Amino acid sequence: MLQENFTFGKITLLALADSVNPCAIAVLTMVLIAILIQNPEKKKKVLYAGLAFVSAVFIGYIFYGVILIQFFKTFAEFLGKNSGYVYKGLAILAMILGALNVKDFFFYKKGSFATEMPIFLRPKVKKIIEKIISPSGAFIIGFIITLFLLPCTIGPYIVASGLISGLKFIETIPWLLYYNLIFVIPMLVIVGIVYFGFAKVEDASRWKEKNIKKLHLVAGILLFLVGFFILLGWI
């Protein structure tokens, strides 16, 4: 059963790999810029809007996690005694996603499959974000934006959801909360840095662009190692 193979380390590493995804960071900076344009002298609105957006992402991903866990539970019941294949499949998926991210370090291309938001979605996201004029708007639109974030962030989350799906449903909730807390920490840090004046939103955006390959490399190594260690039974 998947439950027998579940460990704290696996979920932590998967969440860390997901948290450094350039996709989510890029969208957050777009949200903060949109709020700054509307409220150039009101830094508190930037803080509230940033926190509202991050909260929406956090809650939205909890919801998606519940759906994924239920899917894996149903799938495991269907497979019966062969449900162990699901576990091995998750390990292989993590390794594939890791390899794709490492590939982006050496051969980067915007909108890469499974590692970044597809190019055709980006104008739509930007158009939606430009409508944000308040913290409440950031919260509402945050839920909508999570759907656009899924193509570039869902991979590690699928693996993590599969790993905890062997637990009782009520027991999976704290792990979903834990995973998503780690996932949004970089976004919370960016909001704090901008609000307290350590850097401008544009600085955060430029930092992301400058280090995008390194972010993919870190995420890729973590994902590949998780998958590899799972196959070997080391974690």
Quick one: pLDDT at residue 80? 60
pLDDT at residue 2, rounded to an integer: 47
Give Cα separations from 148 to 38, 53, 136, 137, 184 (angstroms). Answer: 23, 14, 19, 17, 16
CA–CA separation, 216 vs 50, rounded Å?
Answer: 24
End-to-end CA distance of the chain, in Å? 15
> Which residue blocks in 131-211 are alpha helix, DSSP H?
135-164, 169-195, 201-210
Q: Along the chain (235 residues), what's the average pLDDT of each consecutive run of 10 residues?
A: 62 91 84 76 81 93 94 76 73 92 92 84 86 85 88 89 88 95 92 84 84 92 89 70
Closest listed residue to residue 148, CA positions, set 15, 56, 13, 16: 56
pLDDT at 32: 82
State residue 133 phi and psi, 5-degree precision. -130, 0
Q: Domain range spanning residue 176? A: 2-232
Q: What is the count of structural domains for the chain?
A: 1
Say what the pLDDT of residue 4 is.
Answer: 46
Report whether 198 contacts 76 (CB < 8 A): no
Question: Which pLDDT does position 1 carry in this prediction?
Answer: 44
User: Nearest to residue 153, comparing CAs of 179, 120, 126?
Assistant: 179
